[in-house]
């Protein structure tokens, strides 16, 4: 989906672009000389939807957020996020600490605790420095602003090299609806979901169950289709807040307005997902893996994720090596329903047809791999009508360095 008549990209904006959304990002001392504490606040209680990691060692903040959303019947007003420490595998103390973070926000903003989501990202197994967080939250609350989105986007980063934020607007009837988002993620990326956090705000008026439905569908084809290193984290979550301040006719069933909203939400999720894949630890190239004409989306997804997760494929892309055999090998072990004699492979051009190699210039493909920052691979299974796209990055020397030396 591209910008056009259906929506407009707003440059320089992010999570605070929708009406009634404020944010801040501060240094509280968890990380050395870096912002490490973010706060997102909706002036009006918002409908909320969320999705979480499938890792069974689910971190304490996710347990708090899940419980709060259940108790509030899907409503939130604030999200607090710290970076540097994951508060995962920390037992009863970690859970108590996550509740304390929610308490600090509740007291500072004078809102009910069940209306607060908590998120953490960073090193597993360490305990949170609660005194630093309590002090930092006082500052974060005092600095809440419609201009604070970029600071929040910076404060949630860990090994990321750049902020990830996006904002768009579109019309529902005569009303302008706004959506903004921020995300973090660089390593331990292999959703459902992985070390990635994404926070999306919108001023649309929508039923909570439909908001959850739209989020689940969008995540399934965006955040759950990225991979940096094949590891699934303990902490990942995606949260959407919808505060209704756009004053559009409330969306209460799946009709035209719902699908318009879904398409724009999908664009925001895809933009953030690709930004995460592009900024993978040590990455030099974004890889897009498109699978065409599979018998179902799930079968197409198996192929796309197998190729994008392959260390051999990722290393070949880094080395500018047109080793198409590694790609077909991944297709073959994906577990998907395929007929090898039908498979076509494109890497800049068609280089395999009906499972057999074509004559092509290795030098030209090498140049394409060497000088392109975005590499596209296409597999055409020629078995059905469904497609899927996954995103990842190359595997470089720096990935190993980053994951042995970090703070």
The residues assigned a catalytic role are 195
Give the Cα separation of 295 and 298 in Å (integer).
8
Whether 208 and 243 have beta carbons less than 8 Å apart is answered as no
Give the Cα separation of 54 and 61 in Å (integer).
14
Give the Cα separation of 87 and 120 in Å (integer).
7
Whether 317 and 375 have beta carbons less than 8 Å apart is answered as yes
Three-state SS string across the chain, please?
CCCCCCCEECCCCCCCCCCCEEEEEECCCCCCCCCCEEEEEEEEEEEEEEEECCCCCCCHHHHHHHHHHHHCCCEEEEEEEEEEECCCCCHHHHHHHHHHHHHHHHHHHCCCHHHEEEEEEEECCCCCCHHHHHHHHHHHHHCCECCCHHHHHHHCCCCCCCCEEEEEEEEECCEEEEEEEEEEECCCCCCCCCCEEEEEEECCCECHHHHHHHHHHHHHHCHHHEECCCCCCCCCEEEEEECCCCCCCCECCCCHHHHHHHHHHHHHHHHHHHHHHHCCCCCCCEEEEEEEEECCHHHHHHHHHHHHHCHHHHHHHHCCCCCHHHHHHHHHHCCCCCCHHHCEEEECEEEEECCEECCCCHHHHHHHHHHCCEEEEEEECCCCCEEEEEEEECCCHHHHHHCCCCC
Give the Cα separation of 116 and 103 in Å (integer).
9
Q: What angle do CA 258, 6, 205 make, to 5 degrees?
A: 35
Residues constituting the chain: 407
- The Cα diameter of the chain in Å comes to 69
């Amino acid at each position: 989906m591209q910008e056009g008549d259906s929506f407009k990209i707003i440059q320089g904006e992010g999570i605070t672009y929708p009406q009634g959304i404020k944010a801040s990002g501060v240094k509280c001392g968890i990380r050395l000389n870096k912002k490490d504490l973010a706060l997102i606040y909706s002036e009006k209680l918002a409908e909320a939807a969320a999705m979480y990691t499938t890792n069974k060692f689910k971190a304490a903040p996710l347990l708090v957020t899940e419980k709060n959303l259940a108790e509030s019947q899907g409503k939130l007003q604030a999200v607090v996020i710290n970076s540097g420490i994951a508060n995962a595998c920390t037992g009863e103390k970690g859970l108590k600490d996550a509740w304390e973070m929610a308490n600090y926000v509740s007291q500072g903003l004078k809102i009910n605790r069940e209306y607060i989501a908590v998120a953490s990202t960073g090193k597993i197994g360490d305990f949170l420095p609660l005194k630093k967080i309590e002090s930092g939250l006082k500052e974060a609350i005092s600095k809440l602003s419609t201009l604070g989105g970029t600071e929040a986007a910076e404060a949630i980063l860990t090994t990321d090299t750049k902020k990830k934020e996006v904002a768009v607007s579109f019309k529902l009837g005569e009303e302008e609806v706004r959506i903004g988002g921020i995300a973090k993620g660089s390593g331990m990326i292999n959703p459902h979901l992985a070390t990635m956090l994404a926070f999306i705000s919108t001023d649309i008026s929508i039923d909570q169950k439909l908001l959850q439905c739209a989020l689940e569908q969008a995540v399934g084809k965006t955040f759950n289709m990225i991979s940096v290193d094949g590891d699934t984290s303990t902490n990942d979550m995606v949260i959407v807040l919808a505060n209704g301040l756009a004053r559009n006719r409330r969306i209460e069933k799946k009709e035209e307005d719902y699908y318009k909203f879904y398409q724009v939400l999908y664009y925001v999720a895809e933009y953030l997902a690709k930004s995460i894949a592009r900024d993978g630890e040590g990455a030099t190239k974004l890889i897009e893996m498109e699978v065409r004409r599979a018998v179902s989306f799930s079968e197409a997804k198996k192929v796309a994720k197998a190729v994008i997760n392959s260390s051999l494929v990722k290393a070949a892309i880094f080395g500018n090596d047109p080793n198409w055999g590694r790609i077909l090998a991944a297709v073959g072990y994906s577990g998907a329903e395929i007929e090898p004699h039908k498979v076509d492979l494109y890497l800049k051009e068609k280089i395999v047809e009906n499972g057999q190699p074509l004559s092509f210039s290795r030098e030209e493909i090498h140049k394409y791999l060497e000088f392109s920052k975005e590499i596209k691979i296409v597999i055409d299974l020629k078995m059905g009508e469904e497609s899927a796209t996954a995103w990842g990055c190359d595997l470089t020397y720096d990935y190993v360095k980053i994951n042995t030396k970090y703070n």
